[in-house]
Structure 1
Amino acid sequence: MENIDFLGLLPCALKVPFQEALGAYVKELEKCEDVSTLHYSLVGNANNGLSFFTELKEKNDLNVLPDMIMAPGFNSFYYQNIINKCKESKSIQASVPESMNPLWLDLDLIDPFNLYSVIGFNPTVLLVDRTNDKSLPLPEKWSDLLEPEFEKKLAIRGSNPTKEEKKIEFCEGILLNTYKDHGEEGINKLGKSVNWSLHPSQMVKMAGKRGEGPSISAIPYSFAKLVKCNENISIVWPKDGAIVNPITLLVKDIRNKQSKIMNDFLFSDEVGELFVKIGFPSIHSNKNHKLNDDTSFKWLGWDFIHENDLAKLKPKLNDIFLQSYMSK
């Protein structure tokens, strides 16, 4: 990642509008003679960033990082070896605005070690489709999905990292939160409930169609709101909260001139409005995070992250889940 000032590994819904806004910002910057070109790279679909995180994990070296990187999910930033490397660094420091969305304090999203900035998050909700099963009860909270009545009813995000790799990787946010609340037994039960491994766009396309589609999809809200709800299709916001999938910013040295320029863009009103329009709550203070009147959120928590090495826990939970998922 040499000569890259900013790398953005972006959720699908964010890629195009973010690219357009950043492109316009850079074009304005280039009109100023005293501002050098800002070099950046944007990658859509979080799975496309897996090779980058594999390199970071294997080399255990922060030098593979660009000056600034923004990435979704519980990626390698949240692995103990990388957290420790960041702690040892004398220049890495969280970039947090003086005034921020009060939700960040309510959910305790501020990194206690002042290394990372969660600048927004992608909430996961439930899309319930009773087109093929009118008798299906509405789940009220995440734990309901572990009950026998929801066996083989659920779809969650899953993907194959590479064409050569056949092993499916399932949504880490759902697996980690299920394990936190219900242990390995909960992961086993969840595996029995899940019958589809899909991209969110596939969940949207299958909604309302007669046949063998999922009755319930655990789906990012940004995709769920694209579905036209009716008497059979509804978005359920779990009472215990939509799962928080963080969008994390790591800055190697905020004193760097280019990092300061990029930082100004990331914490601008324009980016805050962009996040909220898509359906991502943002750290920006003047943006309304209330996507619905009764929204609440479920954050994994810094204590859990620091007490568990996610580099080991994530593949372990994925294997336990996969065994249960494939045994049906």
Structure 2
Amino acid sequence: MKPGTAQVKEKLPRHLLAMLPCPLKVPLEETFLHQQSSGLWSDLDPEELAFEGNANQSDFYKTVDQFHSADELPDVVITPGISSFFHPDFRTRFLDKDVFADAAGYAQNERFAEIGMKDPTGRVTLMCVNPLVIVADKAKLGDIPEPRSWSDLLNPVYRKQVTMRGHNGTFCETVLLTIGQSFGEDTLTGLGRSVRQGLHPGQMAKLAGTDNEAGTALYVMPYFYANMIRKRDKVNIIWPEEGAIASPVFLLAKRGASEAGRRLASFFTGAETAELCEQAFFPSPHPSAASSFPERKLLWMGWDLVWNRDIQTLTDAANAAFNQGFEQGD
């Protein structure tokens, strides 16, 4: 997996392709490699396993529609968000044909059961979620009231005062789809008017609370990165009243996986991985998961959007509506 390569389909590893958010990649890969060095995974060819940073895979996601046979796919794929693995081409060839099956052999804990995040069709497995919150820079916000709801970001008082994840005119699909579903698709143009720029969350964490003119009054960012802000006394972390937006990290486990693939799926859906996720501020649905913020709600867009609508068309329309407002000046 090479970032920045041409949009040509790559040969994937046989057993595992784990495209992980940065906060999860390091602890999960280190734990796995430690087990591997202890001989636990001695039957697996290291060349048939890949841990990748998801932020570097934008070119790869554009090639997902080029896969035509289940034999081309690893036993286990981990992919964050509502990616091209849910778009019509891949869905009709693989997801709708029951190539994958839910690998979590447990009922989700109460927090996740309440919002219905277990796939009702049994095709994909929820490994954890990346909760997205609002961060307010107290100095840049000044006397303007802090937002309490996601809908508050539409207020003209925040025009061009928000930073969120985005790059080259494409913005976080989970944020756009969730806000569109919760408040109406017509609200996305208003949200676009409020957003000044799209950045990687790591860049946001460095800017928030500083005097840098590139910073904004508000940021929509993962809770992990909000806790990494160096000038913590200069910001407030806001958990919106509807809940932090739940950006899912999904595991696709092949129904006909090899024995090694089934063991990998068990590892990534087990208690040890759940604990590592929680330590990185990625809540896990595992029943053993002990959350450090259990009373705080999560906001999930719902499976209806994923399975009963054309998610690719919806994502494209959401970005178009958002960009209509984003491209308007101050």
TM-score by length of 1: 0.89
Aligned twin of 1:24: 34
Quick one: which of 50, 63, 71 aligns to 1:41?
50
- AA in 2 matched with 1:41: A
Determine if contact 1:68/1:259 at 8 Å carries over to the other structure: yes
Please show how residues 211-250 of structure 1 align to structure 2 within 5 Å. 211-212=212-213, 213-227=215-229, 232-250=234-252
Deviation at 1:235, TM superposition (A): 0.3
Kindly report which structure 2 residues correspond to 1:23-102, keeping only aligned pairs within 5 A, or say none: 23-29=33-39, 35-37=43-45, 39-44=48-53, 46-59=54-67, 61-102=69-110
Within 5 Å, give how 1:134-283 maps onto structure 2.
Answer: 134-159=142-167, 167-212=168-213, 213-227=215-229, 232-253=234-255, 255-283=257-285
CA distance in 2, matches of 1:297, 1:31: 35
Q: Give yes or no for the alignment of 1:302 onto 2:303.
A: yes
Alignment pair present for 1:13 and 2:33: no
Q: Percent identity?
A: 28
1:284 to 262, 286, 296: 286
After superposition, the Cα gap between the structure-2 partners of 1:30 and 1:230, relative to the gap in structure 1 and judged at 3 Å, is: closer
From 130, 135, 142, the equivalent of 2:138 is 130
Q: Structure 1 2/292 Cα, relative in aligned 2: closer, same or farther at 3 Å?
A: closer
Letter of the 1:305 partner, please give it.
V
CA gap of 1:254–1:29, structure 2 versus 1, over 3 A, is farther
Q: Distance in 1 between matches of 2:271 and 2:86?
A: 28
Secondary structure at the aligned position of 1:315 is classed as helix
**Which ranges in structure 1 are unaligned for 5 or more consecutive residues?**
160-166
Q: Is the 8 A contact 1:229 1:235 kept in 2?
A: no
Q: 1:5 to 1:157 in 2, by over 3 A?
A: same
Contact preservation (8 Å) 2:209, 2:231:
no
Counterpart position of 1:163 = none
- The total of aligned residue pairs comes to 317
Counterpart amino acid of residue 6 in structure 1: L
Q: Is the 8 A contact 1:203 1:217 kept in 2?
A: yes
Q: CA deviation at 1:303?
A: 1.1
> Aligned equivalents of 1:191 and 1:254: distance in 2?
44
Q: Hey, what does 1:162 align to over in structure 2?
A: none
Is the contact made by 2:21 and 2:55 (CA closer than 8 Å) also made in structure 1?
A: no
| 1:62–1:76 Cα change, 3 Å | farther
Change (3 A) 1:309 1:210: same
Deviation at 1:140, TM superposition (A): 0.6
Cα distance in 2 between the residues matched to 1:314 and 1:51: 17
Instruction: Name the CA shift for 1:66/1:52 in 2 (closer, same or farther; >3 Å).
Output: farther
Q: Kindly indicate whether the alpha-carbon contact (under 8 Å) linking 1:86 and 1:115 is maintained by their aligned counterparts in 2.
A: no
| CA RMSD after TM alignment | 2.1
User: Where does the alignment leave 5 or more consecutive residues of structure 2 unmatched?
Assistant: 1-10
Q: State the TM-score, normalizing by the size of structure 2.
A: 0.89
CA drift at 1:304: 1.9
